[in-house]
Amino acid sequence: MQLILIICTFAIGGSFTGYAGRKILNIFIIEQKWLWIVAYILLVCLLWPLAVLLISIPFGQFSFFLKYIRKIGMRMGIVRSRKLEVGSQESGVQSRESESKLTTQNSRLITHIAIFASGAGSNAQKIIDHFRDHSFVKVALVVCNNPQAGVLNIAKKETIPVLIIEKENFFRGNAYLPELKTKQIDFIVLAGFLWKLPSLLIQSYPNRIINIHPALLPKYGGKGLYGHYVHEAVIANKEKESGISVHYVDEIYDHGKLIFQTKCSVLDNDTPDSLAQRIHALEHEHYPKVIEEIVRKSNKS
**Could you list the active site residues?**
213
Q: What are phi and psi of 51, to 5 degrees?
A: -65, -45
Cα 290 to chain centroid distance, Å, stands at: 14
How far, in Å, CA of 165 to CA of 10, rounded?
A: 51
Q: List, in order, residues 6 or more apart from 203 with CB less than 8 Å away.
A: none
Q: Residue by residue, what is the 3-state secondary structure of the chain?
A: CHHHHHHHHHHHHHHHHHHHHHHHHHHCCCCCHHHHHHHHHHHHHHHHHHHHHHHHCCCCCHHHHHHHHHHHHHHHCCCCCCCCCCCCHHHHHHHHHHHHHHHHHHHCCCEEEEEEECCCCHHHHHHHHHCCCCCCEEEEEEEECCCCCCHHHHHHHCCCCEEECCHHHHHHCCCCHHHHHHCCCCEEEECCCCCCCCHHHHHHCCCCEEEEECCCCCCCCCCCCCCHHHHHHHHHCCCCEEEEEEEECCCCCCCCCEEEEEEEECCCCCCHHHHHHHHHHHHHHHHHHHHHHHHHHHHHC
